[in-house]
Structure 1
């Protein structure tokens, strides 16, 4: 009787070992599946529009897609105000036609980001066309500046989850904005000033344009800079703004 009891105990121990091993194996598989879900790039699509910081630092950004009359006056104003770290998102087809202005931008110390090659809406294109446009712009900007652009703002600022996924695959950080000067609609100098000064806070990425369509930006910009300086704000590139801070992002459907 005692012999039978000992034999059953051994069997029980064997079964327990088997059960524990099964649980352990399933646990590993669960963790692996969890890690796959966490690190999958398609889990959530986000675009950076602001930095989370308690410091009064902001990034002035300028989109350029055509023309040559407004960019230089804006660069002159930035230089006069001692700002050598704005971020310019350049349409590469424009950059090819105006290499002298591109050189002035980077020689003045400003950051240059990718604004696509052809100035058309990416969400209306297929994946391959978007990818080729980003790469063509990348190569063009690199050849003009000998610097590798790492920030992307799609033409017109338009993108969706698919565009974001492609930009991430191309090793770009997609940058939107948190404060819009709305200078592109030429609403009046005072309105542009108000749109920025009354809405800005630390960590903001501010949108301006330096294409020829904007008729009032060069008039509003000196006042905007002066008023923001008087409020204690300092200016940095987008890359500097995001360094050592938590970027705020929005989920893209």
Structure 2
């Protein structure tokens, strides 16, 4: 006995659209799983902090350069900002002990930005451990010993990084507001990128030489945040003052 299946044109078109839609959705999900999401936590394991509950934290990454860190410290001192967190690479710190000492004496918190500029998602676990250990040793020689925070040098990290950092006794810190100052988009644009910041936000800024406009943008940023009644704290103070927020690892 022969069986025949007859589809009219309308139903065939509907079936085709459903199949295409399903394939497109599957492709989107697949691509999202490939993207490195830079804010992570594990369900039961170590977490990365990206936001708090109240106050606001200015954080500055310094990986290289000789010219931009001092002017930014000048601005913070002039504007009477008592609390900020500087994430320094060990290699930079070794070359600039006077600036490291100044950051510490001004009362600002120091965190580790690795030793070299390594993408932790692209290197082996042993290399991550070696980089963090080398940075820890470098800061120890500079008498900076109370280190509890680390930020992945490129901003990219994964579960391995979280676990390794935990073994070192470090908390991984990301950010909730990116100033994009390293792109040098203009002072007004940098300030505009931070205008949406509110209570609990951790702001990413840079004091490496690639960020040529940050020092000039900083006074306006500080005044705007203060005008909105936001108190500057270090990341550690923010963590201590309330529950830190995290997101799911992908």
Tell me the residue number matched to 2:51.
Answer: 50
Q: Does 1:193 align with 2:194?
A: no
Inter-partner Cα distance in structure 2 for 1:178 and 1:145? 30
Q: Which runs of 4+ in 1 moved over 6 A?
A: none
Aligned counterpart for 2:128 among listed residues 102, 127, 130: 130
Q: CA deviation at 1:60?
A: 0.2
1:13-28 mapped onto 2 (5 Å cutoff): none
1:251 match: 248
Partner of 1:147 in structure 2?
Answer: 145
Contact map agreement 1:46 1:251 (CA 8 A) in 2: no
Match of 2:159 among 158, 161, 164: 161
Find the counterpart in structure 1 of residue 211 from structure 2.
214
3-state SS, counterpart of residue 198 of structure 2: coil
Farther off after superposition, 161-170 or 42-51: 42-51
C-alpha deviation, 1:45, in angstroms: 5.4
Asked if 1:232 corresponds to 2:233, the answer is no
Aligned residue for 2:89? 91
Q: Does structure 1 retain, via aligned residues, the 8 Å contact 2:56–2:233?
A: yes
Q: What TM-score does the superposition give when structure 1 sets the normalisation length?
A: 0.80
In the TM superposition, residue 84 of structure 1 has moved relative to its aligned partner by 2.4
Query: C-alpha separation between the residues in 1 aligned to 2:241 and 2:226?
Result: 22
Query: 1:124/1:228 Cα in 2 relative to 1: closer, same or farther (>3 Å)?
Result: same
Structure with higher helix content: 1
1:36-76 per-residue CA deviation (whole Å, 9 max, x = no partner) reads xxxxx8845531100123xxx10000000111110000000
Is this contact kept in 2: 1:95–1:141, CA < 8 A? Answer: yes
TM-score of the aligned structures, taking structure 2 as reference length: 0.81
CA contact (8 A) 2:180 2:193 kept: yes
Whole-angstrom CA distance in 1 between matches of 2:68 and 2:201: 24
* Residue aligning to 1:34: none
Over the residues paired in the alignment, what is the CA RMSD in angstroms? 1.3
The structure with more strand, counted as a fraction of residues: 1
SS at match of 2:246: strand
3-state SS in 2 of match to 1:124: coil
Q: Matches of 1:44 and 1:237 in 2, distance apart? A: 24
For 1:187-236, what per-residue CA distance to the aligned partner results, in whole angstroms no more than 9, with x for missing partners?
A: 11100001002x11101100000000111101100000011111111101
Distance in 1, matches of 2:102 and 2:143, equals: 10
